[in-house]
Structure 1
Amino acid sequence: MNKTRTANGNKKRQRSAIVLLMTMVLLGVFPLDVLLPSFPALAEHFQNKPSAIAFSISLFAIGISLSQLLIGPLSDIVGRKGLLISGMVVSIAGATGCVFSTEYMWFLIFRMVQAIGCGCFVLSQALVQDMFEGKERDQLRILMITASGIFISISPLLGSVLQQLFDWPGSFFLFIVLALGVLSIAYFLLDNHHVNSHPKEDIFCAYQRVLSNRSFVGYWLIAAIAFACHFSFIVISPLIFMDQLQLSTYEFSLALLLYGAAYIAGGIVARILANRLAPKVQIVLGLALIFCSGLLMLFFSSTFELSTMTVLIPMIVCTTGTTICRPIATSKAMDVFPENAGTAASAGNTLIFILGGLISALINMSTDNPQMTLALAFLLLSTAALVLNSLISRRLELLNVG
């Protein structure tokens, strides 16, 4: 009887943990994309240009990157629970300040406050490392990557609905409600223990130690390359669909919704393969699909006129590859330093933000033929990642022999 109660209690705790993690994944992408349809309304409210409102998105990304660099290592020392709850309180305060801002400068300040609080979402990877093991951990990371892609894809459509119903504050109201949910679950679910085996190690030394490991950096680079392919498409998609194909905002949102559906299919394939293939084979297969998507997009761009399907079909193949290789590469990286999960997650996520931002910015500079540029980028990036995976595998084989 006691064993049954314990088992049921553990299952309930795991279900609550999954709800917490999924909500954190949603809130990690929600504040960026959901605000896009509200740019004209924000520009009118603050009597500013839409380009100035776009600056708030860049500022938000910078705030998250800087915040997570500190939050991850601190969580290894003081625990995850307190930092996650504190981050939620700060982000809610920032979102509330944005709603009541009457001047653009105050809006930017409170937007930065919200971003600093959102830096605590980097703890999702550390919590997965703390609370799950083995195949269960890998499966959950696949689910999180799949959910992230879906949330990114549906955010513009959700933003359009919120804009129509509640004007531009609508997205901030929904963020506050979801953040309160995360705060409540974290308060009742999490223990504030930490597992750092180097309690006196300062943050700089912690980063130096994890970043000096070639396998750790290599696996995170593979994950970052897979993310960069997806993120570059998201960044450049308005140029392709709205500027070149002249789709309306609603039609553009539906196109991204179809792209999000591909993440579900990719996630299902990834979950099946995770139980049947070795990690390094999963990585190779995922990167090979990204390479094939580049070839397919190159073929379509040179053979057919630009259309919604000539863009989406290769991206569905790319998405499948991303959902296969990125979760397992992340798991392999996080397994290198399980005792420093916070620091490891912060280092890896910062690398993903930097690489994704740089590559998407370079691709965005090509305004003449973005589809061709995107195809070439997929080919180069997947090739580089395949070479990197081969070097990591060879190095680990030599270490095992030695």
Structure 2
Amino acid sequence: MQSSRFLDRTTPPRIVTLILLAGLSALTMNIFLPSLPGMAVWFGVPYGVMQQSVALYLALSAALQVVIGPISDRYGRRKVLIWSLLLFLMATVGTLLAPNATVFLIFRMAQAVIAAGMVLSRAVVRDMVDDAQAASMIGYVTMGMSLVPMIGPVIGGVLDDLYGWQANFALLLVLGAGVLWLVWADLGETATLRLVTLRQQARTYPALFASRRFWGYTLAAAFASGCFFAFLGGAPYVGDKVFGLSSSAVGGLFALTAVGYAGGNFVAGRYSVRIGMNRMILIGTLVTTLGLALLAVLTLAGLSGPITFFGLTLFMGLGNGICLPNANAGMLSVRPELAGTASGLGGAITIGGGAGLAAFAGVLLGPGATELPLVLLMLASSLASVLAILSVMRRARQLGA
């Protein structure tokens, strides 16, 4: 029975396959963050140049998500995922062989093709279950996924201290090959293929863009995750330059945010059906905002330090873990027949905004800067997420009336 299951190309995947797909995408984003200061020294460039490996990766990831969703609606989730993983492996080899920072950044951008894992793991869930169950299942998928990036910076920091930054990308190469095999063996096609051209697919975009619900859910997700992407762009600098921490110490403290995210995903998986998507999104955004507001107050009072700074980001992780599965399910519920397209467009807006905030964080944290500009940027983004979901809820009340 077990072997026949692995030969079947038409059955839905096991949940572990979706977890590892999304997890590889998240791990690629953050495993090497503790290495950024050392990589700048290795390539002989300023920290700001290497910090762009975060912003550029996110920018190309956003652009790719615009087309990944529609292509998967047309040709199928399975084919798109297999080709994306093959291209990811080639790009990872390029990062290891890069002779200078420019070549490294080119191949680093090419690694963004693994965004297909994040986009299509959500779309596969929506293919399999209805709206309420989708929010719950996405919560469980991302809870399991969060275990990977939770230990990613820790492993990345230790590998950097022991073997150098290249070890992080060597690990990605090995893991990418393993996930490719698992997708080939386990992930059957879940999409109902739509026999239309990509141009015809693009004509469906206005239906999504004209929807206030789609924009509300998308902006709630974009601003909620935006504070996290700003954190990704600025926290390595804060840990190294402001607090004088080692790569392994920064990696270990990064895990606090992911612990909160895993907890939030558990709450989303357990209570989303009972409480409802909109209220869960509001709860999540408020948790993040209150945690960051407290961090801002302590920083302004001169009471911040590495434990305070990284410790209070646990609430950012908790809030995002509650908010994002529900916001993503909300995006996909606007037009269920366009789940892949909606996931791609919503993801592109979310990740594109994150790229901008990550780059802006790098600009704010110039020589001699403290952590305060980063904290205020994160707080502003979280406040915007609260306003976005309140607009959705207000619109729902108006329509109900």
TM-score bracket for the superposition, by shorter chain length: 0.7 to 0.9
Q: 1:210/1:251 Cα in 2 relative to 1: closer, same or farther (>3 Å)?
A: same
Corresponding residue for 1:325?
323
Corresponding residue for 2:346?
348
* Residue of structure 1 aligned with 2:202, choices 201, 204, 212: 204
- The structure number with the bigger radius of gyration is 1
Q: 1:120/1:267 Cα in 2 relative to 1: closer, same or farther (>3 Å)?
A: closer
Equivalent pair of 2:233/2:358 in contact (CA under 8 Å)? yes
Instruction: For structure 1, list consecutive stretches of 5 or more residues without a partner in the other structure.
Output: none
Pair 1:177 & 2:182 matched: no
Q: 1: distance between equivalents of 2:84 and 2:248? A: 34
Equivalent pair of 1:25/1:147 in contact (CA under 8 Å)? no
Q: 1:62/1:383 Cα in 2 relative to 1: closer, same or farther (>3 Å)?
A: closer
Instruction: Report the alpha carbon displacement of residue 147 of structure 1 after superposing the two structures with TM.
Output: 4.7
Q: State the AA in 1 paired with 2:139.
A: I
Q: State the AA in 2 paired with 1:76.
A: D
Corresponding residue for 1:231?
229
Corresponding residue for 2:65?
68
Pair 1:162 & 2:159 matched: yes
Instruction: Report the alpha carbon displacement of residue 210 of structure 1 after superposing the two structures with TM.
Output: 1.8
Residue pairs, 1:41-56, within 5 angstroms: 52-56=49-53
* Residue of structure 1 aligned with 2:26, choices 29, 53, 57: 29
Q: 1:283/1:104 Cα in 2 relative to 1: closer, same or farther (>3 Å)?
A: closer
Instruction: Report the alpha carbon displacement of residue 216 of structure 1 after superposing the two structures with TM.
Output: 0.9
Instruction: Report the alpha carbon displacement of residue 340 of structure 1 after superposing the two structures with TM.
Output: 1.1
Equivalent pair of 2:218/2:349 in contact (CA under 8 Å)? yes
Corresponding residue for 1:240?
238
316-325 vs 355-364, which moves further: 355-364
User: Match of 2:275, SS?
Assistant: coil
Corresponding residue for 1:122?
119
26-35 vs 115-124, which moves further: 115-124
Residue pairs, 1:3-402, within 5 angstroms: 16-39=13-36, 52-102=49-99, 106-116=103-113, 118-119=115-116, 121-147=118-144, 149-163=146-160, 167-192=164-189, 194-195=191-192, 199-200=196-197, 202-367=200-365, 371-377=371-377, 379-400=379-400
Query: Alpha-carbon deviations, 1:207-264, whole Å to 9, x = none?
Result: 2332221111210110111111222223222233322222222222222223322223
The structure with higher relative contact order (CA 8 Å, sep 6+) is 2
Q: 2: distance between equivalents of 1:316 and 1:365? A: 24
Equivalent pair of 1:72/1:122 in contact (CA under 8 Å)? yes
Equivalent pair of 2:120/2:340 in contact (CA under 8 Å)? yes
302-311 vs 349-358, which moves further: 302-311
Q: State the AA in 1 paired with 2:22.
A: V
Computed over aligned residues only, the root mean square deviation of the Cα atoms, in angstroms, reads 3.3
Q: State the AA in 1 paired with 2:264.
A: G
Q: TM-score, normalised by structure 1?
A: 0.84
Q: 2: distance between equivalents of 1:192 and 1:259? A: 34
Equivalent pair of 1:363/1:370 in contact (CA under 8 Å)? no
Question: What number of residue pairs does the alignment pair up?
Answer: 393
Instruction: Report the alpha carbon displacement of residue 293 of structure 1 after superposing the two structures with TM.
Output: 1.6
Instruction: Report the alpha carbon displacement of residue 136 of structure 1 after superposing the two structures with TM.
Output: 3.9
Instruction: For structure 2, list consecutive stretches of 5 or more residues without a partner in the other structure.
Output: none
- Percent identity between the two aligned chains: 26
Q: State the AA in 1 paired with 2:200.
A: D
Equivalent pair of 1:88/1:118 in contact (CA under 8 Å)? no
Q: 1:198/1:333 Cα in 2 relative to 1: closer, same or farther (>3 Å)?
A: farther
Query: Alpha-carbon deviations, 1:327-379, whole Å to 9, x = none?
Result: 11111111112211111111011111122222344444444775544554455
Q: TM-score, normalised by structure 2?
A: 0.84
